[in-house]
Structure 1
Amino acid sequence: MVDNERLRQWLCNYQNPDGAFRDVLSVVKQYRGLHPEQDIYTFNDGTRMELVNLCGTIPVKYKGSVYNIPICIWLIDTHPKNAPICYVKPTSDMAIKVSMFVDQNGKIYLPYLHDWIPNSSDLLGLIQVLIVTFGEQPPVFARAKEGSDMPYPSNSFMPQPSAGYMPPTYPPNTYPPSASGFGGYPPYPPKTANAYPVYPPYPAPYTPYPAGGGFPGATGTIKDEHIRESLLSAIEDKLLRRMKEQFQQGQAECETLKRTQDELKQGKTKLDGILSRMEKEKNDLDKNITLLQDKEQELDKAIERISNQESIDVDDAVITTAPLYKQLLNAFAEEAALEDAIYYMGEALRCGVIDLDVFLRQVRTLSRKQFMLRALMQKCRQKAGLSV
């Protein structure tokens, strides 16, 4: 059983403790062979950090039998934003089988870890990928028992590497051991690095260590059918690797085409919007052009009608509806004429056309008359109910 309170206490220093707690809880409920622990992890640069890990075994089906493969998954403090660090953790009677997915130190390299997607990738999916991958290429095999004359167990399905095979070399593990009892491991390579190193060809896969112990089919003699099965296993592994490479290449091309399709769809949507706006503007312009043409025809007709009529007397053109309004209109026109007369009298004085006495006498007379007209207009407006 998982102590939820203790697990939450271990995850309290994580950036997203709730997300990490849910992720761990979903795994331990599904896989009873894994259990959470807290331990010191030593990074490649010597930095030590107290992290939560999932240790135990996962069930892997290989050639019709189920084996328990020991693993350890370290959750860094940014989980689940960044991928965890995974290792195969062999027991004393197991040895690591180096492949393109597992190095000599037990470090696991997977496309799922390299392409970890926040809010989408999780530990449950990682373990399912591990089960499928280890079912095709087991990460461990059984060691030879002490005191045995053979370097490998007598199981004929575990051939000794040929003389032409040289396993890949790795830097020695100089990291200090952690409190859990096994050495610290180098961190997962950065995104810019090649996440899956390429190794030279290796022999046929060894039979993984079974869950119940022991080695199946130990006879002490290598027979023809054993060699045949070993060769078939090697061919099968090679074909699987090539199929995976082709599948990954096709998947990458499909993703590229999908991104291109999405970009084209977005461009099509933008173009459709632009075309719709242009069509609307074109319709508006057509309506405005039609309206202007109608107004132009009306103006032409009005000009033609006015040009055919006789000249109109200005005094006859303005007709009031009542005598009071006519009196107001005449007073206003006369007052405006007096205003103009006074102005031109000043201009005449300035130019020396008239002398000052004549100017003062005429302006006095015009001003008196102007005053009377303004008083008459005010009284007419009052009678008519207009604003004064």
Structure 2
Amino acid sequence: MANDDVLKQYLSKYRNRDYTSREVIGVIQVYRSLTFRLEAFVFNNGSRKDLLNLEGTIPVNYKGAYYNIPVCIWLMDTHPQNAPLCFVKPTPDMSIKVSKYVDSNGKIYLPYLHEWSSNGSTLQKLIQCMISAFGELPPVYSKPRNEARAPYPVNSFMPQPPGYPYPQVSPTPGYPTVTPYPTTSNLPYPSYGTPYPGAASTNGTPYPPAASATPYPPAAGYGGPSPDVGGGTITEEHIKASLLSAVEDKLRRRLKEQSQQSQAELETLRRTQQELREGKSRLEDILARLQRERSELDKNVVVLQEKERELQSAIERLGEQEGIDVDEAVVTTAPLYSQLLNAFAEEATLEDAIYYMGEALRKEVIDLDTFLKQVRTLARRQFTLRALMHKCRQKAQLAC
């Protein structure tokens, strides 16, 4: 229960926290050597993010014997929408064996990861695919006993373990022997200890050495007399052919690693080029829109300047003219129109007078009798004026 609480606390920033928690608990119940922790993951662009990882060993059957392969599985915060990032994490006594499933940095490549689906892909199926692939091509091999332990390989994908680099110590006389895995599938696997229990196979035999770990036969004159093999003698031609074969194999592996690295860098550059092209297209659209807006703004400025000059001219003309008499500002062209204008002005004054009479009554300045008497007089006059305006409009053939 405590582990569940700690796991949910680690997954507080994950998008699908409950689903990821259930899946992790199910995996560590089946593979008891795996443990979870929250650590900072460094991406290729240098950004860092706290991600949950499953670290430990998984059992792999290689040529009839079980080996504990140390792995590290990083879960993205969008799990299960995005596939996890998987790595082989060798101990100081191991070396990575580059294959089509593992590169020189320990990163794991599987078809299952490439075809990852948020609907059907699970961590348990992923680990089963790892076990099947590593049973075909082991990802690590044990170093020769007389070889000094090299530091942990620098990997831009994975954070370095505590105490990196590993101290240079003389090799131990042998790997510890662990109990073989039971063949019954319902029995638990041995718990994960320190260092990785996978440092030795279940029968006490180290990890199968790679071809490059096998020493080359000594050249003539350096290792004493040439031994007889099957009645024949190892000559310089045999030694030369063996050395050429070993060098060719090593160059082929190095070329393959360089090719894979170059392909990855080329793909990154292609994605960057595509993003830059899209950004260039967006910037060109923005620039074209700004140019159109600037052209319209220039036109509006020209129109505004013209209107400003016209307004200034009108102000100057008005300043040169004499004052205008308000009473003489409006002059009608005929007596009928003058009678209509005077009747309209008087009717408007009567309407204002009736309004202010109502205000005086509301404020109790006048009594009701006075109000009714004055309003009756004003209304009668207003009616007469409206009738006069109607008759004038008819005579002048205006809209009534």
Question: Which structure: larger Rg?
Answer: 1
TM-score band, normalised by the shorter chain?
Answer: 0.3 to 0.5
TM-score between the two structures when normalised by the length of structure 2: 0.41
- TM-score of the two chains, using structure 1 as the length reference: 0.42
